[in-house]
Amino acid sequence: MKKFALALALLASSPLFAAPIVQDSWDNSHTIKFWNAFGQSFTAQDAAIQSIGFGVITANAGSPFGGLTVKLFAGEGFGGSLLASAIVNPAATTSLGAWTDADFSAVNFIVGEHYTFQVLSADNSAYWAVQDYTRGPLDTYAGGSLYLNGAASPGDDMRFRVTPVTTPVGAVPEPTSLALLGLGILSMLAFSRRKPKSP
């Protein structure tokens, strides 16, 4: 029973994390330069997110090779407050595409709230296109929507991923975890004070 109580205490002190959000389907792409206010909304599943990534392919190899700016807004669409921005420099890709991730680990997210990220050409180049799912019959990600020219495109989604921080620094335990930890400690104390019955 002591081992069970110890295991319960250890389990309670271990932080729990939601799985990454990964929408990996795509059947189309949009050249970033020609689609202003292009992005994707999502519903936060973790308070600490390491990065937001998206699939890119080379659209126009003859255009100047440059970076991309990723902006993160609170709420649905680009009308909310700007929370952070990052510049990423994708590696040259083939028609199969590749993931490019922007670091947003400094942002505090609220679980269950909506956020929208926007992808822009940092130097107005037509080199890059972002992969998306816009031709198929399925809504591949129900927690958000693709944005084209600032307008939501319901049922369509960018090929994107949201990766949570798996080892937060100074994580604050939630009340349930604290209660389980306390229960485990009390169980250990109760069993350690039991005296064996005399024959």
Neighbouring CB atoms inside 10 A of 175's CB total: 7
pLDDT of residue 184: 66
Residue 132 pLDDT > 80, yes or no?
yes
Q: Which fold has domain 18-164?
A: Jelly Rolls (2.60.120)
Evaluate whether 118 touches 37 at the Cβ level (below 8 Å).
Answer: yes
Residue 16 pLDDT > 60, yes or no?
no
Evaluate whether 29 touches 59 at the Cβ level (below 8 Å).
Answer: yes
Q: How many CA atoms lie within 13 A of 170 on its CB side?
A: 0
pTM of the model: 0.74
d(CA 141, CA 10): 35
> How much is the average pLDDT of 69-73?
97
d(CA 116, CA 139): 17
Per-residue pLDDT reduced to its tens digit, 51-66? 999 999 988 888 888 8
List the domain boundaries for the chain. Answer: 18-164
**Looking at per-residue confidence, does 66 or 80 come out higher?**
80
d(CA 62, CA 125): 10
First CA to last CA across the chain, in angstroms?
22
Which pLDDT band holds residue 27 (cuts at 50, 70, 90)? very high
Least confident of 13-17, 147-151, 184-188: 13-17
d(CA 81, CA 78): 8
pLDDT of residue 80: 96
Q: Which residues pair with 148 in a beta bridge?
A: 151
Q: Which amino acid is at 103?
A: D
Angle between helices 2-13 and 175-192 (to 10 degrees): 160
